[in-house]
Structure 1
């Protein structure tokens, strides 16, 4: 059952429920959860995704061809862009088309539709993988040839904040931590498949920092950022109250897969060298795979992020503990037949 409530802000205020919401990537993990929550609150919610879903008023389209779906956003009050290249292995050309030009297309559609607020769902990947302890929203975004997904996320933020600075539309950027929960492909389904195959490998003895945020907590943060006046023009980190390690988090997948012990580990230099070789071979064989050096860097992050700004300005407070979130996730995996009873 969807939680039909609007979270309370820092001073106890409740953001108004938007009359009409438009969501890109509306059939994805975060997009679908937002769609259900806003609908439960009584908002009219429409969306776009690669495949149409008429039952949920979602039309087919992508960020590179806005003319195919722009009319469907007409009249929306709130525009939320969750659509992105969800890959650590895509070419630069695709990241540019989707994360830079595609985000600019979204802004143009939102402005033409009459939206009052534009929310860009970015990622803490924009900080890279070797950021300082308790990194906040003032830290550098990553640049360079590595960690393409993070570089693309940082570029998308620039496009959005430039539009805000120019007075085109009020914008807010949200950087989620590692979002998990029932339906998560990135942090539940795919790692479980790898664990079942015995192919789940972690760098640096699994000591990389993992910043989990349960999907319901993320929704609270997004809705506060989308509805409160003080969130205009701001970037917010949204994560849990405390991090864990990759070894501790993915030990659950190893157990769910029926395996004893812990996932295999390799030193980071060896892990990146091995995945680089696999990535090149897969490229020659035209095999799509997320086994890349960037995946190893992501699992070797060295520090936690700060959510102090979201707490101070929004009143954001994560409520679902990691133990409870993993219990709910395990129940979902069992109910869907992905692990045994």
Structure 2
């Protein structure tokens, strides 16, 4: 951890370090990074994840069964829910159980435990993929039968905003961009496996919009959103200043895998048809995997996101540009033996 100071807000203010923080999904990529940053600042950090980690004060549990871990959250000032269905190929039932009822369970635990602030991790996926330009926090969330992950994220926001509007607890929602950096499974480890196997395929010539945000920048944005009073009741996009194409981002993985050129590509309609067949077969065989139509839709995103609100209200400023972020990411992949 290179930066263990609180980020500075738009008017020069620095959020107070919370006395205690509870994090769901505390062993995940983002949850683990948040816990390390808050601990380095002197906060007491507790958490919950699917597997217990007593050394880091993390108990086992999931959002659908809160009784087993609710007591561990009691007394924490700040409750951050990063736990989610981290999949683009899950069933509607799982999304509903976790992203709707599970988030309501988290709110109930936070309120019963005396938390003063609740921060919900949503995603820019809530905006969908088929929109133009730079979407801001007033833009529509996606609805419909496709892009289930994004629909579920939008539903989770509704649950949180309803609790805030009812005066149950002060809430803030953050919508991260595509978060990468050392420790990232979704945007480093898994694409690397696919690149090494020659199976990394992008739709529409790789022209889809990718919104990379380096993990350290995300932490800055979350801490501002979680600690500043002007963030209460608000939604914030926390991402990089500029989006890039999927081809630009994932060509690095292709190169790290020792391959020439750029990842393979297919027309979106073909990619969706192929992944639909594979997804259906996997479901029949009860096999897990991220080969699904929604994955292709995500890689075909037509628009970016605006971070103007986070900049103006919070004073958020991303510091790690893509070149530096990829350099650090490559170093981690080599250190962890994922590339030679």
- Name the TM-score, length of structure 2 as normaliser: 0.99
Cα deviations by residue, 1:211-252 (Å, 9 ceiling, x for unpaired): 000000000000000000000000000110101100010001
Aligned partners of 1:100 and 1:156 also within 8 Å: yes
Cα distance in 2 for residues equivalent to 1:312 and 1:114: 30
Match of 1:43 in 2: 43
Unpaired runs of 5+ residues, structure 2, are none
Cα distance in 2 for residues equivalent to 1:60 and 1:329: 29
Cα distance in 1 for residues equivalent to 2:92 and 2:4: 40
Q: Name segments (4+ residues, structure 1) moved above 3 Å.
A: none
Cα distance in 2 for residues equivalent to 1:2 and 1:26: 20
State the Cα distance separating 1:283 from its structure 2 match.
1.6
- Name the TM-score, length of structure 1 as normaliser: 0.99
Cα distance in 2 for residues equivalent to 1:273 and 1:74: 48
**1:285-304 equivalence runs, <5 A:** 285-304=285-304
- Secondary structure of 2:277's aligned partner: helix
2:233 is the counterpart of 1:237:
no
Q: CA RMSD in A?
A: 0.6
Cα deviations by residue, 1:92-138 (Å, 9 ceiling, x for unpaired): 00000000000000000000111010000000000000123110000
State the Cα distance separating 1:257 from its structure 2 match.
1.0
Match of 2:92 in 1: 92
- Secondary structure of 1:119's aligned partner: strand
Match of 2:211 in 1: 211
Cα deviations by residue, 1:244-293 (Å, 9 ceiling, x for unpaired): 10001000111111111110000101110111111111222222110100
Match of 2:324 in 1: 324
Match of 1:9 in 2: 9
Cα distance in 2 for residues equivalent to 1:320 and 1:143: 33
How many residues align structurally? Answer: 340
